[in-house]
Structure 1
Amino acid sequence: MIKLFLLFFIFGIFSTFSKSINSTQKLRMIVLYESLCEDSLDYMKNFWPVFEKFHQYIDLKLVPFGKANLKKKICQHGKDECLGNHIQDCVLHAQLTPLQKVEFVTCQFLNGSATKKNTQCAKLESTRRWIYECTKPNGDWIIYQKESERITNLYHFSEVPAIVYNEKFDQSLQNEATENISQSICTQLKRMGIEKALYC
């Protein structure tokens, strides 16, 4: 009888421990995009309300680089896009919450203000000051864009935006990942053992 009790006790501890791990586990998600890309605009417009719902389950990294080349100083949609990438990379490294960062990027897309340093999308004065400081000729944007280029070059993709789940890029998942964002995220969460995520 005592042995049976101990067995149930140990099983209970293990189950609680497993649930605790699952409850803190997050989907690591990378969005590779470009600041003046129409498809990136469409994606971010649709992603923002989804991220508002699922943000507690997602460890998100937005990477504004795409098919640019730092050494050649070229971006897929011209020099303006390079500036837009610099501005957004600076804000993505500012002291903001993930929700604030996604809101900023989405706002810039919707307002067509990706290349504006004095953008109203930066709701805090400290963020505006940071944009000007960070995007100076020798500003921190250089470090951030080098890192964005490194991350982008880890994955082989043909279209932008490209969505990466848990450090793995799967071309076959891109249509669902960009066109049915909620379903795609729910599928990934279930694969991770997070069965009871809200909104799924």
Structure 2
Amino acid sequence: MLLKELLYVLICTSISSAWGALPVTVYYEALCSDSVQFITKQLYPNYRFFKDHLDIEFVPYGKAMHTFNATSGKYKFSCQHGREECLGNQLHACALKQIKDKDTKINFITCVMSAENPSGRYFIEECSKKYNIDFIKLITCGVSDEGSKLLASNGDKTWNLEPNLYYVPTVVFNNSIQINQEDQRNSLSNFKMTMCKKILVESERPEVCNEIGLLERMRSFFSFR
């Protein structure tokens, strides 16, 4: 049984690399400095190399909690960096629902996460204008039950991870609910290298992967000498 499961994982991974974009889910928080670091210094700079190989899903929630009051019909949220982060996560969720184009999605999230305050209404509005996102629609969602439901859904998805999320951001491949610790470490330290290893079909790898391979061979050669 274990052998069959292993073969299934290998086949699925090969298919995702050979025949379509590789799903990458980024679990993050609006006011998390490590989330800012990963998105602006790892994910976004390397997106241009792998855009044809990536299907990125952003899940703003992180180390938060939520409860539902059946009497009021309202959700209550508690976020790691306070109420402002909860609002920011909710506004991000509303923006992501509205955005369909994957280039616009990563450009907007990077724009906001690069701002002085990624939860701030002013900065979110400025990034919305920059990428032609309907800010009135976004803010209406963000302060309504619609936004709360979106954030709660992100929370359910986050809490469904195994083991429970303990580091933000967390990066997961192939829509898995399992956090692969090796993938996690490698993605945060060198997303470019991680993606090159994930694309199993050599002919499909971007040129940047060949450059990395050459550099690694050169390092090994001089280290040996």
Fold equivalence (TM over 0.5): yes
- CA distance in 2 between counterparts of 1:136 and 1:126 reads 17
- CA distance in 2 between counterparts of 1:21 and 1:50 reads 19
| Structure 2 unaligned regions, length at least 5 | 1-14, 68-75, 210-225
> Aligned residues, how many?
179
Give the superposition deviation at 1:173: 2.5
Match for residue 114 of structure 2 among 110, 117, 125: 110
Q: Does residue 86 in structure 1 map to residue 94 in structure 2?
A: no
Mapped contact 1:117–1:128 kept (Cα < 8 A): no
Match for residue 59 of structure 2 among 57, 63, 67: 63
Cα RMSD of the aligned pairs, angstroms, is 2.2
The corresponding residue for 1:121 is: 127
Give the superposition deviation at 1:50: 1.0
Give the superposition deviation at 1:125: 5.3
The corresponding residue for 2:137 is: 130
| Structure 1 unaligned regions, length at least 5 | 1-19
Q: Does residue 54 in structure 1 map to residue 64 in structure 2?
A: no
Deviations 1:66-117 (A, max 9, x none): 1111215200011110011011111111134111111111111211232233
- CA distance in 2 between counterparts of 1:31 and 1:56 reads 17
SS at match of 1:70: strand
- Change in Cα spacing, 1:110 to 1:92, as seen in structure 2 (3 Å) is same
- CA distance in 1 between counterparts of 2:204 and 2:57 reads 24
- CA distance in 2 between counterparts of 1:22 and 1:73 reads 37
Q: Which is greater in Rg? A: 1
Match for residue 156 of structure 2 among 150, 154, 161: 150
The one-letter code sitting in structure 2 at the alignment partner of 1:100 is: T
- CA distance in 1 between counterparts of 2:135 and 2:99 reads 12
- Identical pairs, percent: 25
Q: Does residue 36 in structure 1 map to residue 31 in structure 2?
A: yes
- CA distance in 1 between counterparts of 2:52 and 2:40 reads 19
- CA distance in 2 between counterparts of 1:21 and 1:80 reads 37
TM-score (norm 1): 0.81
The corresponding residue for 2:184 is: 174
- CA distance in 1 between counterparts of 2:16 and 2:81 reads 43
Mapped contact 2:17–2:198 kept (Cα < 8 A): no
SS at match of 2:118: coil
Point out the structure with the larger helix share.
2
